[in-house]
Amino acid sequence: MSEQTASEAEHDPGLSRRTLGVPSITLMIIAASAPLTVVAGGVTTSFAVTESLGVPLGFLVIAVILTVFSVGYTAMGRHITNAGAFYAYISQGISRPFGVGASLVALVAYNAMQIGIYGLFGFQLSMFLEAKFGFASPWWLWIILCIVVVGVLGVNKIDLSAKVLGALVALEFLVVIVFDIVSLAVAPEGVTATTLNPAELFGPSLGIVLVFGVAAFMGFEGAAIYGEEAKDPKRTVPRATYAAVAIIGLFYAFSAWAFSVGIGPSNIVGSSQEFGPDLMFVFMSDHMSVLFVDVMNILFLTSLFAALQSFHNAVARYFFSLGREGVLPGWFSHTSKHGAPWAGSVAQTVLALAVTIGFAVHGSTGGAEAMEASTGNPAFLYPVLTMFTWLTNTGAMGLVLLMAVIAAAVIGFFRRDRRGLSVWTTLIAPIISGLLLLWVFIMIVANFHILLGEASPGFGTYILPIIVLLAGLIGIIWGGALKSRNPEVYQRIGHGTEPGAYGTEVIDVVEE
């Protein structure tokens, strides 16, 4: 146990305050979902794997589920402002040990999402440079360089990240809108509402469509993570959350429908299976200039970069929150003069480097060839089929599980005092969304081998979900141990908001 004095606190001021407004937080949330990446990759993958024409409506159904979830989630957020978000909500709504368990699941999930996206980024940039300039380069080289850039932005003032992400997201939207317009103009089978027919969605394929679609929304819950840096947390966070869900849901549904119109409803499934994520670029190559397609490819890369930065910021703030309250070593709570959680940012950067090096070494020592032999996929796809696919799907699974638990936490938080809120907000909406999210989670686990691109369940199908669940179990055990081992730290769990939050000029932190 060590003490951080008021003098030291002056040099470690905590997160920047009153910095972010609704537009900034909304853009960072949307950046995490990577709009161009979802339309190019997520939409085609959903059509190809599910063989269902109900993909556009699937996005709307998910948006409705998450909107209902947000009713209780944002209501709880008006009473809890903590960079740990899920961790704090579950600590106060269920129990402190469960909150610690949730924090470790969140760290695994957000890190998995972020590091997994690096795999696709490195692969795409390497392939683009080779195709355009004949410059062959290892995929992992570009990941390492990108990790450095993301890390530098992560330790600087948060509004710098917000401005960078805002500009990138605006360009992504512009490109996708142009794609949508071209698709509707081409319309080989006419502008038809075939893929908007409810009968195409509500059938045997409903569950798997939602399983593939829900990953496109991951990151929407992150508004609460920026609550301590919001200009008005009680208003900014709820507005940003609802805005993000509405924009993402409507935009993806419209673009998926436009995509189906541009290719033709009768051809969209077959074409998606043939070309995969390249279908969007192949289509635009036939109807737009080479220059525009090159711009699209570049913005596809910046879309991935924006998602990387957004998830990096979220991980850094989780580390900060847990370090501040003593659940993790106290140095995780250190912030820069800009109010950025530099210790958490550095920790995430180091972790990303370590995992990238691990995949690079495994791929270069026979892992890529072994994958080709067992799956028939080309060895050069190794970072996409392993690092990207394994980790991002694991992250999405963990976040869906956490949202289902959050729904229960909302009920627990308002059980004794509804704080003037309606039964719909404090009970009915959480029950409905919680059950639906739990069902989606079960469907993810049941179809996990499909998400990983495996014909039948294999080693990864079992080990990756176990890692997520094991992280939660370890956290629960550790949280329970703190109750007897360090009661003072135990009382802080999920209740800290900033240095000095405990009513004293001296802040105790745990040193491991």
User: Residue 451's domain is classified under what CATH number?
Assistant: 1.20.1740.10
Helix, strand, or coil (residue 52): coil
Does some domain include residue 295? yes
Does some domain include residue 229? yes
Distance CA 403, CA 221 (A): 9
Is the predicted pLDDT of residue 19 greater than 70, yes or no? no
Q: Hey, how many other C-beta atoms are within 10 angstroms of the C-beta on 39?
A: 26
Structural tokens at position 239: 């507005």
What are the angstrom distances between the C-alpha of 493 and each of 84, 118, 314? 10, 32, 19
Say how many domains are in the chain: 1
pLDDT at 505: 34
pLDDT at 506: 34
Contact at 8 Å (CB) between 124 and 300? yes
Q: Hey, how many other C-beta atoms are within 10 angstroms of the C-beta on 338?
A: 16
pLDDT at 408: 95
Does some domain include residue 33? yes
For residue 3, what are the β-bridge partners?
Answer: 508
| CA–centroid distance for 184 within its chain | 30
Does some domain include residue 505? no
- What average pLDDT does range 406-420 have in this prediction? 92
Contact at 8 Å (CB) between 17 and 339? yes
Lowest mean pLDDT of 216-220, 324-328, 341-345, 480-484, name the range: 216-220
- What average pLDDT does range 101-120 have in this prediction? 93
Does some domain include residue 162? yes
List, in order, residues 6 or more apart from 397 with CB less than 8 Å away. 109, 441, 444, 445, 448, 464, 465, 468
Q: How far apart are the first and last CA of the chain?
A: 8
Where on the phi/psi map is residue 187: left (φ > 0), alpha (ψ -120 to 50), or beta? left
Distance CA 274, CA 79 (A): 50
> pLDDT per residue over 395-407, tens digit each?
999 999 999 999 9
Distance CA 52, CA 47 (A): 6
Q: Hey, how many other C-beta atoms are within 10 angstroms of the C-beta on 339?
A: 19
pLDDT at 216: 83
At residue 332, what is the residue type? F
pLDDT at 283: 94
pLDDT at 161: 64
Contact at 8 Å (CB) between 99 and 493? yes
- What average pLDDT does range 173-200 have in this prediction? 93
Distance CA 234, CA 203 (A): 40
- What average pLDDT does range 466-478 have in this prediction? 95
Structural tokens at position 491: 């009382």
Is the predicted pLDDT of residue 499 greater than 90, yes or no? no
Q: Report the range out of 146-150, 389-393, 417-421 with the highest average pLDDT.
A: 146-150
User: What range does the domain containing 474 cover?
Assistant: 18-498
Does some domain include residue 210? yes
Structural tokens at position 368: 């890529």
**Any idea how long the chain is?**
512
Distance CA 498, CA 185 (A): 53
Does some domain include residue 441? yes
Q: Hey, how many other C-beta atoms are within 10 angstroms of the C-beta on 171?
A: 17
At residue 138, what is the residue type? P
| CA–centroid distance for 136 within its chain | 31
pLDDT at 172: 87
Is the predicted pLDDT of residue 96 greater than 80, yes or no? yes
- What average pLDDT does range 7-31 have in this prediction? 63
Does some domain include residue 3? no
Report the mean per-residue pLDDT for the chain.
85
- What average pLDDT does range 437-465 have in this prediction? 87
Confidence label for 4 from pLDDT (cuts 50, 70 and 90): very low
Please, how many CA atoms are within 13 Å of residue 289, restricted to the half-sphere of its CB? 3
- Residue % of the chain over a pLDDT of 70: 89
pLDDT at 405: 95
Query: Would the CA dihedral through 480, 482, 488, 490 be positive or negative?
Result: negative
Is the predicted pLDDT of residue 353 greater than 90, yes or no? yes
Confidence label for 123 from pLDDT (cuts 50, 70 and 90): very high
Indicate the pTM of the whole model.
Answer: 0.85
User: Which of 69, 110, 109, 108 is closest to 89 using CA atoms?
Assistant: 69
pLDDT at 8: 43
Confidence label for 211 from pLDDT (cuts 50, 70 and 90): confident
Distance CA 54, CA 48 (A): 12
pLDDT at 317: 85
Is the predicted pLDDT of residue 82 greater than 80, yes or no? no
Distance CA 35, CA 229 (A): 25
- What average pLDDT does range 168-175 have in this prediction? 86
Is the predicted pLDDT of residue 507 greater than 70, yes or no? no
pLDDT at 235: 80
Contact at 8 Å (CB) between 480 and 494? no
pLDDT at 509: 34
- Residue % of the chain over a pLDDT of 90: 45
